Structure 1
């Protein structure tokens, strides 16, 4: 199946909320449960899993999806053994592996193609103009990776700018207060900052195939839950087919989970490339793009102080759980 290409008009907004569901109701007993437990926060690229759940495509005795409020919470749940798999970005997988979690990527949900952005004041027109400027970013999260990549492209060192750590919730207020010259962010904040006078300096289209959203599973659980993993991945591709064949109806179904009207839910995929089965096979091949991206990201993150130690990348990716072909 060819990759789904969402409509190009700019999004009016991406999400009105992050998943608010708490892990507390199930933390106490999930370690000994037979089903594969998968953690995910709200993000369009992950929505095919939740669509599959709502459509009854996932057998409850084999797979349980749990919403978290952030990737950090998903990683914590993995570390504590409360789930066996999680939806994360590739750089987050590398960070978790550096902290001792043996994770393997088994599916690529999406690739950022403009969804992650650096916004700037009107006077800043080129990357080189960032020298000496104040840049806001979530330096403990994905923003740190984007910032490192942008500084490399600009030929700047971290010491050439003033980096101000600001959580996503504080980005708009920090921008409006005039304390920032540039900002690393993503939707829905990006649209609000643009409306407040910023312009798009650079986005992830200028560093393609760097930011991957993936499904990662603990290596000690992968074989034990092999059939469940295959079922979950198959359901994801089924959702992509439905989105491609009947985008409006599928968008309304997705919107009910995201809390968005159908049109907004469809536009929420703008800036994301959603690889189908054929591209996933290529990405997850031993010599494929994801292996190369893992090596590049590991080196970049290590040099930028984003990893505590080098990753040997052993067992980082596997295509063993992808279906042989698309179901009709």
Structure 2
């Protein structure tokens, strides 16, 4: 078959069409991550302030409360959320396909049950109103505190309060006690509140993680790697500053690298590799413990599969 040559005047038109098509391709949307104002997520925002994140690739969305963050993840508005492990398990139980790609910290006293000035002990909570955010962390704290005090759940009055109204509700004495976290915890203590129970008494149960939708693992792999690498760079920056401050003090620089003044144990990259790898991984073991407690508190509707929950690829720096 004879092929007729393309007329020369058409070639520039073809070039323009091809070039225009390439230029008008829709750019990839940024990787959207929601979090609340929890001190454990500080390195994420420090990374942004240090210029480690391209705004066209990473979008951090700070919400007033963990409940608001949970809602964004549930609605599919964001690709990932900085939440507690128990919250991630609740979302998976509701049908979400999530993977844990990073563990931020263990709460080591940063979450607490605080009471009004006249209530000095846990047993003093009998018949009192306890403000609790609609999340598993609050339920875990209350469940553990009541168990320690020998009180039944029906011996207290649970009032659901979002984190952004904890201070106001406490000041107005709408509640007799509240489960809260830093920085609200310190603010309430400054107002005269008593700390009668905190997360240091349930070590390792409250873990903050980055939960990512599985579809984003494939479509946003490079941006997830950028987020995590920037996070660890910012964490190292924070740790060096803290180490310099404590060199002359009682705490050793090694300890300063791990524990903050806010009752947190920050997990390094090396910690994360250990926590997310293995069969079962430490994360899976911790999740199993949490599921037992959550089931006992009627916090789950359906069973939660744990196989494949931990994804250590990004903390290892080996994403495809």
TM-score bracket for the superposition, by shorter chain length = 0.7 to 0.9
What is the aligned partner in structure 1 of residue 305 from structure 2? 312
- How much has 1:115 moved relative to structure 2? 0.6
What is the aligned partner in structure 2 of residue 80 from structure 1? 75
- How much has 1:62 moved relative to structure 2? 3.7
In structure 2, distance between residues paired with 1:268 and 1:39: 23
1:120-269 pair list within 5 angstroms: 120-121=115-116, 124-140=119-135, 142-178=137-173, 180-247=175-242
The answer to whether the 8 A contact 1:86-1:215 is kept is yes
Q: Deviations over 1:198-230 (max 9, x none)?
A: 321111100111111111101122133223222
More moved, 226-235 vs 38-47: 38-47
1:261-300 pair list within 5 angstroms: 270-286=262-278, 287-300=280-293
Task: Report the 3-state secondary structure (helix = DSSP H, G, I; strand = E; otherwise coil) of the residue aligned with 1:309.
Answer: coil
Q: CA RMSD in A?
A: 3.0
- How much has 1:185 moved relative to structure 2? 1.8
Alignment size in residue pairs: 279
1:38-57 pair list within 5 angstroms: 38-57=33-52
The answer to whether the 8 A contact 2:225-2:317 is kept is no
Task: Report the 3-state secondary structure (helix = DSSP H, G, I; strand = E; otherwise coil) of the residue aligned with 1:205.
Answer: helix
- Greater gyration radius: 2
The answer to whether the 8 A contact 1:302-1:310 is kept is no
Q: 1:109 to 1:161 in 2, by over 3 A?
A: same
- How much has 1:141 moved relative to structure 2? 5.8
Unaligned stretches of 5+ in structure 2? Answer: 1-25, 245-258
Unaligned stretches of 5+ in structure 1? Answer: 1-30, 250-266
In structure 1, distance between residues paired with 2:45 and 2:168: 32
Question: Which structure is higher in RCO with an 8 Å CA cutoff and minimum separation 6?
Answer: 1
What is the aligned partner in structure 1 of residue 64 from structure 2? 69
In structure 2, distance between residues paired with 1:309 and 1:152: 25
Task: Report the 3-state secondary structure (helix = DSSP H, G, I; strand = E; otherwise coil) of the residue aligned with 2:45.
Answer: helix
Instruction: Give the TM-score taking structure 2 as reference length.
Output: 0.75
Q: Deviations over 1:144-173 (max 9, x none)?
A: 232122223334321132223333344344
Q: 1:73 to 1:170 in 2, by over 3 A?
A: closer
Q: Deviations over 1:212-265 (max 9, x none)?
A: 11111011221332232222111111111111223499xxxxxxxxxxxxxxxx
Instruction: Give the TM-score taking structure 1 as reference length.
Output: 0.74
